[in-house]
Amino acid sequence: MNRFRISSLVVFLFSLLLLSFTGCSPKAEGTYEGFCENQTYGGKAQIILILKLDGNDVTGYINITGNLGGSAPINGLIEKDRISFSSDAGEGMPITWMGVIEGEQISGQYRVSANQRLKQQGVQDQAGIWAVRK
């Protein structure tokens, strides 16, 4: 009896250890709707975010409507309750999105990086916030 309990405990602890190394994440796959807000230049836009998961890899599409641009395919990673992905605002301006998953909501910050040519024209890097819900 005691040997059975020890074996069960070892199997349970090994399972927990294995789950922590695989980076299991909440069920984040799906379609989300929400907003993003550019805090550098101002402006707010509606977004639709479609996430597909393959292990810890995230792919999909972000659709940004309104006066902000950047609708594009996305690629990134998800680890536990953290997500990060990138998209392209066009004209050599990648967008890096970082967020925290809480149930059926994801929220965080984003950063738009202007290339050197755009910086010479007076365009600066931009930052903002975003939040979406299933």
Question: In the chain, what are the domain boundaries?
Answer: 24-133
CB 35 within 8 A of CB 131: yes
* Distance in angstroms (rounded) separating the CA atoms of residues 86 and 95: 5
Q: What is the 3-state secondary structure (H, E, C) of 56-116?
A: CEEEEEEEECCCCCCCEEEEEEEECCEEEEEEECCCCCEEEEEEEEECCEEEEEEEECCCH
Q: Does domain 24-133 have CATH number 2.40.128.120?
A: yes
Residue 127 neighbours by CB distance under 10 Å: 13
Altogether, the residues listed in the chain come to a count of 134
The model's pTM: 0.79
* 62-96 pLDDT, tens digit each: 999 988 888 999 999 999 999 999 999 888 789 99
Write out pLDDT tens, residues 15-66: 443 444 444 455 889 999 999 999 999 999 999 999 999 999 999 999 999 8
